[in-house]
Every structure is written in structure tokens, then in C-alpha cells.
Amino acid sequence: MMTTGLTRTDVRGLLLEHGITPTKQRLEIAQILFARPQHLSAEQVLSRLNEERPKASKATIYNTLGLFAQKGLVRELIVDPTKIFYDSNTSDHHHFYNVDTGKLFDVPADSNMVVDNLPNLPDGTVAESVDIIFRIKNKSN
Amino acid sequence: MMTTGLTRTDVRGLLLEHGITPTKQRLEIAQILFARPQHLSAEQVLSRLNEERPKASKATIYNTLGLFAQKGLVRELIVDPTKIFYDSNTSDHHHFYNVDTGKLFDVPADSNMVVDNLPNLPDGTVAESVDIIFRIKNKSN
DNA sequence: GCAGGTTTTTTGAATTTGTCTATTTCTAAA
DNA sequence: TTTAGAAATAGACAAATTCAAAAAACCTGC
């Protein structure tokens, strides 16, 4: 299912499907996130949301992004030492992180990367996700 | 080369090999790090170092860990949203991160995990590292 | 040993991201 | 329309990290 490029009502449905009460603020935040596949920090969502007039408070942004992540609507990316990125694309994919610029990119889906011989997990644990991050830097010559 | 379980003079040599002036504080910090392969945050190094009496200031810890990472003596792990871990084992290996406990473990070297068909990197960039993180959680029954 | 320059360390303030708490506002259902 | 629970808000707070300025340590040539 494509969860980006959605209309206002699509977004409402998306929240409901995930058991999230669609409040005004949550819809505003979801609309920003699901406009297209992207990686946004909480602060980016905050400033984009309140560009013209205040639509939600800081606490609400943090609460909402946390809730969306927990309900599987977005994916938390821990990749930058200073902030969390939220990925509106929850399908299985990995990332390039440019340490020089702090920018984050998807590894294209058509790169047929495969991981073999996955290790056994420590006893009493289950996998939540497997993150592969290519830390890249600019060729400096 | 084994860079853990080192004597005081071994540690001095290790710093010199990496082009780092071996000051008193740096040696103290290195001795903690290279006592054994481990994952320590700056705050952990700080409190371990100054347990009995002050041996280095906070700023020095941060400066030094940053310097060690830059010189390739330790590896920075971005895996926990609230702090950086420094890994005294710089050999090629990956990690389990328990999201419930915040604890970090090595994927055992004898797990023969392989990654095939690595993607092409974005133009003008080179790889610095490839990090694979298994985010695990406790089996809750 | 000592002046002058460089490197390192220190202190403490500042910054940034994120969390918490108390209060107010909504919402949905009876 | 009352009312209980859920959600949102403002603003204080916390934790990790960075920064700037000053002090201390370390050279090096004399």
C-alpha cells in the first residue's frame, strides 16, 4: 500500500486503520509526513507545521511522532547523533547517511542487496528491526 | 592487532602510532577504553575515570573521545537516541541493540553474516563505514 | 632556567533535543 | 448536556554535548 501522496481523507483513514484517533493536530502532522516519502526531524516538522500560524505545540509534535512510530505509521531512524529522523516510508529499505552534510537518503529499492546468515539473536529477545546504514562522506580531493 | 588488554606502555605506543600526543589525561582515558573490548558513553568514561579523584574534566573527555574516533582508535556508534557509544573494538563487526534495556552487544564474529550486492554510493561520495544494527527487544509473554 | 609560542586542559556558560507536569480543552458516548 | 477520559498546551526541566575564554603544561632556542 502506498502511504504517501495522500489526500486529507486518505490520511484520516490511515490513522484510523492504525488505531489512532484523528485529531486536528495529528491530521496536520500526518499530512506533512505523508505528502511524500521523506525523512524529517521533530524540529523540521515543528517549523514546517507552524510556518504561517501555530497549528500544534512542541509537546504535541513529540507526542504525535512517538505515537506514529509506536503504531507503525512511521519509522524512527537513529542515525544522526543529535536528532531522530522519522521516515514516512515504512517499507523495508536502508539508508545512506552523509556525515559531512547530515543528509539522509534511501538505498534505492532496485539495489538488490541481500544479507545472508543472519546471526542468532541473544536468548530471550526478538528482532524489532534490522537497520543498515552506509555512512558516507564527500570525496575530498 | 589486539588493541585491548594493554599495559600502560602499550597504550602510550598505541596513541603514538595514531599520531596522538600521549598526555596524562589521554592515557588515563585510553587505559579505561582499552582495558577490554567494550562500549562506553562519554558519561560512563567520565564517571569511571573520576571515581576516586578527578583525573580529567568533562570537556577533555569529549575532546579526547572525539579525537580518538577521528584518528581511528575507537569507533563511534550511533545507536541510542540519547548518547554516543564508543567501541574500543575497531575491527569489522556489527551490533545488537536492546531497545528495552539500552544495552549494546557485539554480533559474534563467528556468525558468518554476509552482505551481497552492495548498492552504488551516491555520486561524489565514498563509504566511511557500514553499520548493521539489530534492534532487539525482550520476548514479552 | 627562562621568554615566547603552541598545544592541551579546565571551567562554566550556552545550546539543542527531548521530556515532564500541571492545566486546559476536546471529544465521544450516554 | 453532562461527564469521563483523551489530547493538547505552555513552560519548566533534564541530559548530552559544545563552546569560548582563560589557565596550565609543554616545547624550543637561547
**B64: domain CATH number?**
1.10.10.10
The number of domains in chain B is: 1
Q: Specify which residue's alpha carbon is closest to the C1' of nucleotide C15.
A: A82
Q: Is the pLDDT of residue B133 over 70?
A: yes
The answer to whether position A126 is within a domain reads no
Asked if the Cβ–Cβ distance from A131 to B129 is below 8 Å, we say no
Instruction: Show which of residues 58-97 on chain B sit within 8 Å of chain A, judged by CB atoms.
Output: 76, 78-81, 84, 96
Q: In what helix (H) or strand (E) does residue A15 lie, and over which residues does it extend?
A: helix A8-17
The mean pLDDT of chain B is 94
The set of residues, in sequence order, having a beta carbon less than 8 Å from that of B25 and lying 6+ positions away, is: B55, B56, B60, B64
Rg of chain A in Å (alpha carbons): 17
- Residue B104 maps to a domain: no
Q: How many residues would you count in chain B?
A: 141
Kindly state whether residue B116 falls inside one of the protein's structural domains.
no
B48 located within any domain: yes
Q: What stretch of H or E contains A69?
A: helix A58-70
- Whether B30 shows a pLDDT value over 70: the answer reads yes
Cβ-based contacts of B134 with chain A (< 8 Å): 119, 121, 127, 130
Nearest chain B Cα distance for residue A63, angstroms:
16
| ipTM > 0.90 (yes/no) | yes
Query: Residues of B with CB below 8 A from A69's CB?
Result: none
* Residue B14, domain extent: 8-87
Please report whether residue A57 resides in a domain.
Answer: yes
Chain centre distance of CA B80:
13
User: CB-based contacts of B93: which residues, under 8 Å, 6+ apart?
Assistant: B106, B107, B109
- Whether the CB of A23 is less than 7 Å away from nucleic strand D comes out as yes
Name the pLDDT band for B6 (thresholds 50, 70, 90).
confident
Residue B3 confidence class, pLDDT cut points 50, 70, 90: confident
Q: Measure CA B46 to chain center.
A: 15
**Looking at the partner chain, which of B115, B122, B129 has a beta carbon nearest the beta carbon of A105?**
B122
Is B76 contained in some domain?
yes
- Please check the confidence at residue B14 and state whether its pLDDT lies above 70: yes
- Beta-sheet pairing, B103-106 with A103-106: unpaired
Residue carrying C-alpha cell 485529531: A23
Is the Cβ atom of B82 within 7 Å of strand D at any atom?
yes
* Residue A90: all three cell numbers together: 515504512
- For the stretch A56-96, pLDDT in tens is 999 999 999 999 999 999 999 999 999 999 999 999 999 99
Check residue B2 and give its pLDDT: 66
Domain annotation covers residue A101: no
List, for chain A, all residue ranges whose pLDDT scores fall below the cut of 70.
1-2, 141
Q: What is the mean predicted confidence (pLDDT) over B24-28?
A: 97
Contacts of A134 in chain B (CB under 8 A): 119, 121, 127, 130
Based on its alpha-carbon atoms, the radius of gyration of chain B, rounded to whole angstroms, reads 17
Beta bridge partners of B80: B83
Among candidates A113, A121, A124 on the partner chain, residue whose Cβ is nearest the Cβ of B119: A113
Nearest residue by alpha-carbon distance to C1' of C12: B59
pLDDT attached to residue A3 = 75
Looking at the domain assignment, is residue B26 inside a domain? yes
Q: Cell 602510550 appears where?
A: B12
Among B75, B92, B106, B131, the strongest candidate for a mutation testing the A interface, having the largest count of A CBs within 10 A, is B131
- Is strand C less than 7 A from the beta carbon of B81? yes
